[in-house]
Structure 1
Amino acid sequence: MLKEFTQYLLGLKRPEIVEANGNIYSTISLTQLDNEHDVASIKIRSLSGLVDYVKSNFDHERPVMIHVVSPTSVSVFDALNDVNDRRTYVSANALLPDITFERHMPREKFNVMLQACFVKNDDKDKILKLISSISEENTVTQSDDGLTQRVTAKTGIATLGIESVPNPVALKPFRTFVEVGQPESEFILRLSEGAQVGLFEADGGAWELNAMANIAAYLAEHLAEAIEQKKVYIID
């Protein structure tokens, strides 16, 4: 007990400043007690909710920065304080459907995914028409020159026809917040034996920049007054 008490008393001694090799050190560690406490950011699922929060000035009236982090994530935070720290008040994360790319899947599952998770356009209609004509009980007969596939597809109860697979196809999957336009991008459509269908991305990720620009434009439009008053700043 005496040893522990002695160590405790030694620990109460005043800190000393020591210089070594041109650097200055303290003999004990110091902890700053007046730091601002972190806050738990509000988690929301829509851009409209984020706009409503910013307009409300609910937590404070200081200027805030809105950062479009990605096509599916936006955050709101304040400026650095006197200890170079900042607080994130709101994080918006898009609620998205489950879409499968880069691998084949059964025709029926692909059909449901395409109808439920993609915005209607001409290429979507062409693909739906094509895959609905594929013979389900026979393997797909195909020729492929690297750019265009040709597959044997059923055109009637007892007849077979030749259909061209369009490539690349321009589609608009739901990949960002529903309040903004879904960016169109190119995909490679591939069919394989057993009536398997797959979509493979072919735009090098350019859709992400387009989606983020759409988000920034939406926020700029709906927060125009606050931006003009220099209460809100947007970066992407």
Structure 2
Amino acid sequence: MSIEEIHEMLDSVERSLSRLRSANLHSKSMPLSFISDGIGAIYQLESEGVLSNAGINRTLAIKLKNLDGQLPANVMFAALERVRTYLRRIESEFGGEDNSTEADQRIFELDSVVERNPPPPVPVWAETWVYVAPGSRAKQIIAELSDLLDEVLLLTKSTNLPEDQAALTDIERAQLIALLETALLMLKGPLVERGLLKRLGNAAAEAATKAAQKNAEQGMAEISKAVAPKIWDLIKWLIS
């Protein structure tokens, strides 16, 4: 990529971020076409093979590129902020002016939060592994749950608040991220373990409660709050 292309992408992302800010949509679900300028930058980064460097996983990237689809506005905002942060970083590597803000630096830090704060052993009572038949209602719930977990993971890894103002400490954040990433991998397989799901449901509920108490990271809190009911719904189908 040339420095000119990077600047063009930064401008595109900023236009979409400004549109989201002006609309003040919070967590309202919106068509991806609403931020088509920013999505163009996402397409370009993926074509260069570097989109994952911006902290956007493959599953979320597929959703972001679907201009006929929808995502919560705060999820779109977090994804675009991550792209902007990454573009600013590589802009400085090209010898341009370093325009990174403190918020950008915080997002950089969160990319390695799990490595810097290895989660302590997570007590999980392994109950049983259950086979999930293709086409079953449980499989549909897993797809819905995975969408929620992708969104919670992005928002958990994207706060621009310093640790003392954020909903979670970095250690708590690292543990939640590790649980989310582990659960997402598990849900792709044919067998699902109920004990881990219950632990994740409790962790998501705790994160939502702490966010409410601190009045911080409300987007993450709102989606986290929806995780536990979806998990209990899945468990009900797994034991039926």
What range describes the TM-score normalised by the shorter chain of this pair? under 0.3
More helix by share: 2
More strand by share: 1
Larger Rg: 1
TM-score by length of 1: 0.17
